[in-house]
Copies of this chain bind each other. A is one copy, B any other.
């Protein structure tokens, strides 16, 4: 028989963060501040040292050690990429009691794949998806900041296959965790989340790469000045993100992302034709774009 979902309001909980990079460590700082016991896992002793210097002292390495430590934890936060999430989830599921006791959440940028994976392979796990929309171009615990999630949006994707009361308790727990970090939360269906993300984030990162690659002709010009203005700097900034991380995100959301790229291509071709034939009103295009942007940003 499984124990109730732990709630932060009831008592200080023991929260284990498996993966203390930028995202995990930033969350850890706030949870510890709020009086919870925070321990966690990293892959290198360098990260361990960095975290110790930040006051996060209970940091382990190695799967065996981590699984043992989890026997004393209430909540598991996966600060890992998708494949590592799957690996850790399989370890939890293989353990005789952990799966019945732990409340588990992840921080991955795509939600449809991991929710389907858990439902298919580990339907008994008390797992809830969360996606904090925060980050930096730099990674690792040394980049962690207690304010990383301040006013950030966090999307929560409740497990639809679990008993409604369990799903509700998990949702409350996830919302409380992110509130402590200073974020705002909303629940959303995982498939809908991923479709939306293609249009406001995932596709944009690829678009930024294409802009940079198309500007290569400006790179070799025989002039000693950069031709790049603020528009170029802003629109290509995100190509500095980790390509390895983005490869995984794009792969996980490949159908929505490639559909978005094709929609962009259609729109770009249509606009090019409108410009050639002088049938497009660019001022109106800007006005429409401004209106949508204001709505999407809810400002």
- Flag if A186 contacts B223 (CB, 8 Å): yes
Residues of chain B with a CB closer than 8 A to A297's CB: 226, 228, 232-233
Q: Does A34 sit within 8 A of B, measured CB to CB? A: no
Of the listed residues A211, A224, A250, the one surrounded by the most CB atoms of chain B closer than 10 A to its CB is: A211
Residues of chain B with a CB closer than 8 A to A281's CB: 247
Measured CA separation A219–B237 after assembly (Å) = 24
Residues A206-222 near B (CB distance < 8 A): 206-221
Q: Does A243 sit within 8 A of B, measured CB to CB? A: yes
Q: Does A264 sit within 8 A of B, measured CB to CB? A: yes
Which label, helix, strand, loop or mixed, suits the secondary structure of the A interface? helix
Q: How many residues of A contact B (CB 8 A)?
A: 99
- Flag if B219 contacts A292 (CB, 8 Å): yes
- Flag if A269 contacts B261 (CB, 8 Å): yes
Which chain B residue lies CB-closest to A219?
A: B295
Residues A77-109 near B (CB distance < 8 A): none
Measured CA separation A289–B208 after assembly (Å) = 8
The verdict on A243 contacting B210 (CB below 8 Å), with A227-B196, A228-B297 known, is: no
Q: Does A296 sit within 8 A of B, measured CB to CB? A: yes
Which A residues contact B (CB, under 8 angstroms)?
A: 133-135, 153, 155, 184-188, 192, 195-197, 199-201, 203-221, 223-244, 246-247, 250-251, 254, 257-269, 271-273, 275-276, 278, 281-290, 292-293, 295-299
Q: Which 9 A-B pairs have the closest CB atoms?
A: A243-B286, A219-B295, A247-B282, A243-B283, A209-B289, A212-B289, A258-B272, A261-B272, A265-B265
